[in-house]
Chain A
Amino acid sequence: MSVIAPQFKLSEFIKSLLDNIFWIILILVLIGIPAVFMILFAMEMPVIDGELLTPFLALTWLADPSRILPVVKAFMSTDIFRVMAFPGFGFAALLAAATIFVERKMLAKLQLRVGPFYCGKFEGILQLMGDGLKLISKEIIIPAKADKPIFWAAPVLFVATAAAFVAFIPVAPGWVVADVEMGLLGVFAVIGFFPIITILSAWSANSKFPFIGGIRALFQMVSFEIPLILSLLGAVMLTGSLNLSEIAASQSSFPWIVFLPIGAIVFFITMLAELERIPFDLPEAESEIVAGWLTELSGMMYGLVQLGTYLKLYAFAGLFVVIFLGGWNGPMVVPPFPAELLTEGIHMGPIVAGPFPGLPLFDQEMLNGTLWFVLKTVAVIFFILLPRGVFPRIRVDMLLNLGWTKLIGLAFVNIFIALGLLYAGVLGPGGLQ
């Protein structure tokens, strides 16, 4: 009794599958292979057997598996890899996805319910993927009187800005996308873009609730940027540098949170406000202004904004870790790389695999640094998520009052503490460090 799909035919189904496969292969050939070759032309190729590999010969790894690792290693040293995969977008997106999963399950546990449960065999682990598929397949509805170019551009800009923010975060020694000398100033500059994008999106939607939400976001972000910047100055004074990698490296013996707890608290609160998370989610206050500046966004436009929000969450947590918790510094727990893999390979009874000339892909320092960074970031993210379960939303006037009076005052106290430590000689040149 095929009541659900009365028109179902197996032949049609197989035809549609084959059709899909055809299009996938076509797109791969037309776009995928040229893209791979463009990357191969751009990157510096490894030397194998005394001669430089050319992009045209690169695909010879299909015939000779021992050439895979050098090519991969050469690819990993390119900027493309850094931007797209490891310290950049891919890594951040992976952590953001994990954050969403943990947020859902943890919030569900706190609220005595189950949370996502059926999607994916284990505790709804594929729920996010299902959500993404749903958002992609949804229709995008643009309001009739919207300013269409800006309205389309705003979600893309939001993600791009969030990704730019991610680029500043050093994950391990030397592993950072943009290792600029004025890194912290760059971070402040990038953060300053978010309210502009928000108000652009809200204004271009030409609707009342997004407008109010955008105005609120503008208030909130602008008023909290000042305590945000001020709260980080203490660490800058103690380090004497604006480079985030140097700030992280300077905390090899103790993290700055030991000396600057007030700054850390102020930064944490402003971080919550900048992220529009409960208790500061006024721009998206559901019961007052529907969904705030996200009201008119639909389909994948909304999905992009959500992606940008969680990238931003990761980036802020990473910034907190880098500035107050010592970044990648931590006891060495990763075992050293077994050198015999390079010379002898793996002996398992009669079978010999290797040797692997390209290894190690990552050195020990980097693995250890990444591990500690991720652990600390996850801990900070947990504390960012927790207030969502226990606090209600606050009001605009309370928010502005908090930002302009209390937090700025506390940030100055923090600066004075840093100055005191510096002049007393406890820290800085001739001090503990």
Chain B
Amino acid sequence: MTFTLPPGLALQKVDERIMTLNVGPQHPGSGHMRIIVQIDGDYIVACDPDPGYVHRGEEKMAEYRNYITNIPHLERPVIHDSCNVLYPYVLGAEELLGIEVPERAKYVRVIASELNRCIYIMYWLAIYGIFLGHSTMFMWPAGDRELLIDLMEKMTGARVTHAHFVPGGVRNDLPPNFEDVCLRQVNYFEKRIKEYAAVFYDNPILISRTRDTGVLSRQDAIRYGTTGSVLRASGVDYDLRVKEPYDVYDELDVHTNVMKEGDSYARSRIPWLDMIESCNIIRQALQKMPKSGSVRVKLKPNPKTKGLESVYKRVESGRGSLGCYIVSDGKVEPYRVKLSVPSFRNLIALPNLLKGEKLGNMPSVYWSLNYWPVEADR
């Protein structure tokens, strides 16, 4: 007794070994996104990232606001790296509006940007720690971050959403006695992060856990267009602070950290080395900064650009090169603002890295991409 279904109704043959897991958006190990993972036993056979849960239409909103009022909402994608995410927009707007920034303002921007980079990386590191089940590495960075947040608060008046950079400089001058406090806290901060080595970075269990997982070769890192720590962990010496210095980075001595391995461990170690480098840059900038002078150029209310122009500026943020493409058509509002965010660019590597990995490696590979879902969605 054979009974055949019509072709359209025939049951699709499903490989029963494969199980589909929805990692996210309510999963503790995903952030604000979903990764659809198919596993065969403990091995991931396919992975499909699904961002978009926190898409806020920043680019659309920017077309309706003028160059100054764009500032508070354009820093929202990465509020813990808010100075850096605003930086390319401000640089681009300055070029479009034709503003020359005072020297002291440039140094203040560099200090704020480097402090913010450390704040971002500490947050990232805290989550990387808890993704690996290392609760101490969650608490220590989250606590020591307070040292720098305190500095940013003194500097800008807000703890995370600073809205500090404007076309033409920065909003306010440094408070009195800031240099000493900054130097003291940054020095202590550097001492603290060097203590992480014994517990985290030199921990043999961590090393055996993350070595040779999610290996991204040099060719693939370039081909996928990854950026930031992911790129530098794969052996590409590329840091915009050195390669295309903006503001006063060409006057500072910036060292680029490069590792050859391209695995999760290297990708997680590079940001930590970057933080130590940032401390150096802050010390240099504090030393070379002009002790007085203006920090902001007075703008006309509602500044306008001249005709149809476009500009593409990029900076090295905590996650990598962050670009901003502004098209203006001579009105008060920009015609189009496009943020080319590093998280989005690094996301392309995720499906390729996870394929063939074990499920236990998923959090470490995923978060070692230095990925921030809110920024990718914009």
Contact = CB atoms under 8 A, between A and B. Distances in A.
A287 B136 contact: no
Nearest to A208: B21
Interface in B236-288: none
A429 B27 CA distance: 60
A279 interface: yes
Nearest to B361: A395
Contact of A391 (B42, B203, B358, B360): B203
B371 to A, nearest CB: 14
A208 B22 CA distance: 10
A288 B203 contact: no
Contacts of B131: 287
Interface stretch (B170-178, B204-212, B328-336): B204-212
B205 A389 contact: no
Interface residues of B, number: 31
B133 interface: yes
A274 interface: no
A113 interface: yes
A388 B360 contact: no
A290 B135 contact: no
A392 B28 contact: no
Give the size category of A's interface with B.
20 to 34
A390 B139 contact: no
A392 B360 contact: no
B143 interface: yes
A278 B206 CA distance: 12
A263 to B, nearest CB: 22
B143 A208 contact: no
Given A394-B209, A395-B358, A286 B136 contact: no
A387 to B, nearest CB: 9
A281 interface: yes
A396 interface: yes
A107 B135 CA distance: 9
Contacts, number: 82
B358 A287 contact: no
Given A111-B140, A281-B133, A395-B358, A286 B28 contact: yes
A393 interface: yes
Contacts of B199: 390
B135 A388 contact: yes
A216 to B, nearest CB: 9
A391 B134 contact: yes
Interface in A122-136: none
B275 to A, nearest CB: 18
Interface in B118-173: 129-137, 139-140, 143
Contacts of A396: 42, 358, 360
Contact of B139 (A113, A285, A288): A113
A288 B129 CA distance: 13
B363 A287 contact: yes
Interface in A26-78: none
Contacts of A279: 133, 205
Interface string B33-59: 000000000100000000000000000
A285 B358 CA distance: 14
A110 interface: yes
A19 interface: no
A282 B360 contact: yes
Interface in A382-424: 388-398
Contacts of A393: 132-134, 209
B214 interface: no
A10 interface: no
A112 interface: yes
A208 B360 contact: no
A392 B134 CA distance: 4
B348 interface: no
A278 B360 contact: no
Contact of B205 (A107, A208, A391): A391
Contact of A392 (B21, B132, B143, B361): B132
Nearest to B41: A215
B362 interface: yes
B208 A398 contact: yes
B19 interface: yes
B373 interface: no
Interface string A99-140: 000000001001111000000000000000000000000000
A285 B360 CA distance: 9
B29 interface: yes
B210 to A, nearest CB: 9
B359 interface: yes
Nearest to B22: A208
Interface in B183-235: 199-200, 203, 205-206, 208-209
Contacts of B134: 391-393
A286 B360 contact: no
A272 to B, nearest CB: 12
Contacts of A392: 129, 132-134, 137, 200, 203, 205-206, 209
A282 B362 CA distance: 13
Nearest to A399: B360
A389 B135 contact: yes
Contacts of A391: 134, 203, 205
B136 A285 contact: no
Nearest to A387: B205
A112 B140 CA distance: 7
A298 to B, nearest CB: 15
A285 B200 CA distance: 18
Given A113-B143, A287-B131, A390-B136, 18 more contacts: A110-B136, A111-B139, A111-B140, A112-B143, A113-B139, A208-B21, A278-B133, A281-B133, A285-B133, A286-B28, A288-B29, A288-B359, A289-B359, A389-B136, A392-B129, A393-B133, A394-B208, A395-B361
Interface of A: 107, 110-113, 208-209, 212, 278-279, 281-282, 285-290, 388-398
Closest 7 CB pairs of A and B: A393-B133, A287-B29, A111-B139, A392-B132, A287-B363, A392-B134, A395-B360
24 contacts: A110-B136, A111-B136, A111-B140, A112-B143, A208-B19, A209-B21, A278-B135, A279-B133, A285-B133, A286-B28, A287-B28, A288-B363, A289-B359, A290-B27, A389-B135, A390-B203, A392-B134, A392-B209, A393-B132, A393-B133, A394-B205, A394-B208, A394-B209, A398-B208
